[in-house]
Amino acid sequence: MTRLDPNFIVGIGGSAGALDAYKSLLNALSPNTGMAFVIVFHIHPASDSQLAQILSRHTKMPVMRAAVAMPILANHVYVIPANVDLTIEGGAFKVISPRTARNVQVDLLFISLAKEMGARAIGVVLSGYSHDGTEGCKQIKAKGGRTFAQDNSAEITFMPRNAQASGYVDFVLSPEKISDKLKILALLPKLSQK
């Protein structure tokens, strides 16, 4: 049996206040979209993050920490480990430890996603401080991908508002509505084949 490559890879980035947004997005999301989901969170370098275990209670998809050379499969959720930069290259994860800087992990993922997936890249910026994700949204848009930012439902609005202000965000929605839109986008490759 061959591995199931995703039709889209969805990078989801957040920081302070994003945990509830991740849960809401996954709760509303079908486990059979054919997409892969990569969650990048600003985690303290010394922490032992339980994010994968927490989020696994909110989806039927397998949720796991990303690891070096791990292939990215459809209908799976991957979570960044602590103190790393996580990028995608050749359909697998590249993990750089220790991380190169604070609060750039979303941009690093999104930029690699744009290079790897082109128009099949999707970036989602959720609650958090700083401007992380904005440059990544620009790169995804430049390659024909789609971008989302959380609306005023964000607990901390700096990250999604900075992304919106850049002009590189297609949709400004609540996490539940983002899930609805992702379901529609998941059908695009299938519709174009008919």
State phi, psi for 79 to the nearest 5 degrees.
Answer: -125, 140
| Owning domain of residue 57 | 12-187
- The answer to the question of residue 3 being in a domain is no
Strands of the 36-41 sheet, one edge to the other: 63-65, 76-79, 36-41, 9-14, 121-125, 146-150, 171-173
Strand locations in the chain (E):
9-14, 36-41, 63-65, 76-79, 85-89, 92-96, 121-125, 146-150, 171-173
Confidence bin at 42 (pLDDT 50/70/90): confident
- The answer to the question of residue 38 being in a domain is yes
Residue by residue, DSSP assigns 8-23 as -EEEEEE-TTHHHHHH
Q: Which residues are catalytic?
A: 15, 42, 132
Domain harbouring 158, CATH code: 3.40.50.180
32 pLDDT above the threshold of 60: yes
Q: Which amino acid is at 37?
A: F
- The answer to the question of residue 6 being in a domain is no
Confidence bin at 189 (pLDDT 50/70/90): low
How far apart CA 173 and CA 125 sit, in angstroms, is 10
- The answer to the question of residue 139 being in a domain is yes
| pLDDT one-digit tens code per residue, 43-77 | 766 666 788 999 999 999 999 999 999 999 999 99
Displacement of CA 100 from its chain's centroid (Å): 19
How far apart CA 109 and CA 72 sit, in angstroms, is 13
Please give the tally of structural domains in the chain: 1
173 pLDDT above the threshold of 60: yes
- The answer to the question of residue 161 being in a domain is yes
